[in-house]
Amino acid sequence: MSHNLIFRASDTATALEKVQHSLGPDAYIIDIKNVGQGVEITASRDEPIMRSPQTQVDPRKSLSLAKNKLSKLTSDDPTQTTPAPSDEINTSPKETPLTQVLADAPIKNVFSDEESLTEPASKAPLKDFDTTNVLRLTPNVEKEPVKTRAASSNQNKSPLVLENKYGFGDLRSFGLSNAFIGREFGLQEFDGTVTRDDLIDGLVNALFEATFAPQFDNLTHIAVFGPPGAGKSTLIAKLMAGNVEKSMPQPKIFQISSERVFEGDRLRSFSQTFNLPYSKTCNFSFDLNEHPRSITEIAWDLQIDAQEKLAHFGSLAPETGTFLVLPADINEGTLGELLRVLPSLKTIVLTKCDYGRFSMKNLMKLYESECMIAGFTGDTSIHDRFDPADQTTMRGFIEYTLAL
């Protein structure tokens, strides 16, 4: 015996989310219907069993009853007459195809006895009376399509919405936080919607560092932070390539790391490729004021101390830029820890965008930490220079993240 539970919400997406949270991704959807201004879903963890009718009804008797009802409805109108029975139907129990027709007819809802009786057979419509008039006996009520399992709500990234308008539950299913929805769109649960363009514009305005691009070419000192394997060295090589293309004064490349072989040798090789001076040190002991231009990579184990010194130096030299480099496929837990230990870094550059998708939950973490995205890189070629993102690039990134 199945145990059914009822879930109510303002929209279908939110209700399905509640079903999946309570019963798991393999829950069975029994029924979906509109209740007031909301949606009510009946679901069960157990596989439902089709109920058999309490009494067996002879199909021919059921057809006779339908004819009688039809005759009563049309008897008041002298202009309408009931069509004469067709000679093509044999009422003999052995020869009539009606039983087979009812057996072959598709059952739209195995949990509703009423619906299976009112829908006409699709394979062989009856020929002894007008089936159009029979359809008028059924109330013209449109039913919301029923999903077989709650897990089907996650098959498509975009929620089902009407005319590209999204309610509170739809935005939550995208991954937006309650705080973001309230602050940026002014929406509360069960209240209001936003259009597709408003959704994208809201995310772009909240997460895009629009002031970075005009200042980028004027930066004299750049420091690059990020976890191991994020692509810091490759990003610096792209900065070197842009410096050469723009014929700007040569920066000095600094490597702050206790690593003796791999990372240092790699950045030294890039510096030699672009014919730029290179220096490696185990701590932040040098004075950036001694160099008119510099690009510095800081190893992970030294970043916590270095951010404080660079924050102080940046207050004295406004042309200093600090980047937090994040791979697009970074997981939520790692990102949260990075933002916790590096709270002064607010300018984000996303790397490896060709290989991973930055999640909406991660975007919400950036929003909560007041971080903003300044640029993207995808390929690993060191000869393709890095350019800050513009409004169009950021908008395309948001659409890609939302899977719109």
Note the pLDDT tens digit of each residue in 356-390.
Answer: 789 999 999 999 999 999 999 988 888 889 999 99
Domains present along the chain, CATH in parentheses: 157-207 (no CATH), 209-388 (3.40.50.300)
45-54, 130-139, 299-308 — which is least confidently predicted? 130-139
Cα–Cα distance, 140 to 138 (Å, whole number):
6
The pLDDT assigned to 210 comes to 92
Query: Is the dihedral angle over the CA atoms 221, 225, 231, 232 positive or is it negative?
Result: positive
DSSP string, 24-72: -TTPEEEEEEEETTEEEEEEESSPP-PPPPSS---HHHHHHHHHHHHHH
Q: What does the pLDDT average to over 67-77?
A: 55
Q: What does the pLDDT average to over 264-290?
A: 83
Q: What does the pLDDT average to over 34-51?
A: 79
Q: Which of 8, 381, 29, 358 is nearest to 175 (CA)?
A: 358
Cα–Cα distance, 200 to 178 (Å, whole number):
17
Cα–Cα distance, 370 to 90 (Å, whole number):
78
In the block, residue with structure tokens 């951010």: 307
103-107, 353-357, 379-383 — which is least confidently predicted? 103-107
60-74, 96-110, 366-380 — which is least confidently predicted? 96-110
11 pLDDT band, cuts 50/70/90, is confident
Task: Convert the pLDDT of each residue in 207-247 to its tens digit.
Answer: 999 999 888 888 888 999 999 989 999 999 999 998 878 77
**pTM listed for this prediction:** 0.59
Helices assigned H by DSSP within 157-250: 168-174, 178-180, 196-207, 212-216, 232-245
Helix (H, G, I), strand (E, B) or coil at 191: strand
The pLDDT assigned to 338 comes to 93
Asked whether 397 and 357 are in contact (CB, 8 A), the reply is no
